[in-house]
């Protein structure tokens, strides 16, 4: 029923996070959470308000409507699933957070579901502790080995934009 852009979802999730954190969500806080400028937040909030997903009171703050909130919670839940998975396969903290943010909006339900299954399965299956140990050993054995391709390609921040994460071609 809702056709939300990735960004719109990002804003909803950020509003939820800020609200949970501080009890309310002001323009400035949301802007900080998403690393954008306040006017950008006002703009998106206006759209979300028009869609009935948030309520915006000028000079006061933003509140999620029930619908907005339930969408935000779903996004957050996805995020947690993905983060759990990435942690499981030993992706470093920082990368895990960033990548969970990306995947939570973009991946198909099928993929997310299977990842969730995998996470649950690993948490359930008897042999998995052992398996994870062997996986860690495997990763260690790979460390230091050059990848098939690994020229590095630092990400250049476009002028006037907030800093972006580094990337390499891997």
Partner DNA sequence: TATAATTGTTAGGCTATCCTAACTCTGGCG
Partner DNA sequence: CGCCAGAGTTAGGATAGCCTAACAATTATA
Q: Is 63 near DNA (CB under 7 A)?
A: no
Decide: 100 and 86 in contact? Cβ < 8 Å: yes
DSSP annotation of 76:
H
Using the contact rule CB under 8 A, the part of the chain among 10-18, 26-34, 53-61, 127-135 near a second copy is: 127-135
Nearer residue to a second copy within complex by CB, 57 or 126: 126
Contacting residues for 168 by C-beta, under 8 A, at least 6 apart: 150, 151, 152, 153, 154
Nearest to 79 by CA among 14, 163, 5, 135: 14
Which residue of 2, 21, 39, 139 would you call a contact of DNA, by CB under 7 A? 39
Instruction: Tell me the closest approach of the beta carbon of residue 27 to DNA, in angstroms.
Output: 4
SS3 151: coil
Nearer residue to DNA within complex by CB, 53 or 119: 53
Q: Is 7 near DNA (CB under 7 A)?
A: yes
Q: Is 105 near DNA (CB under 7 A)?
A: no
């Amino acid at each position: 029923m809702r056709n939300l852009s990735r960004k719109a979802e990002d804003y909803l999730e950020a509003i939820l996070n800020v609200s949970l954190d501080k009890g309310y969500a002001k323009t400035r806080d949301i802007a900080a959470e998403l690393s954008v400028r306040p006017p950008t937040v006002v703009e998106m909030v206006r759209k979300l308000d028009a869609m009935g997903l948030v309520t915006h009171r000028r000079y006061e703050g933003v509140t999620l409507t029930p619908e907005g909130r339930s969408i935000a919670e779903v996004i957050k839940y996805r995020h947690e699933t993905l983060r759990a998975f990435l942690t499981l396969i030993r992706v470093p903290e920082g990368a895990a957070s960033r990548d969970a943010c990306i995947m939570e909006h973009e991946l198909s339900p099928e993929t997310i579901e299977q990842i969730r299954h995998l996470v649950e399965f690993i948490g359930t299956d008897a042999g998995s502790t052992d398996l994870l140990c062997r996986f860690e050993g495997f990763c260690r054995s790979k460390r230091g080995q050059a990848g098939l391709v690994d020229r590095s390609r630092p990400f250049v921040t476009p002028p006037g934009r907030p800093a972006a994460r580094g990337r390499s071609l891997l």
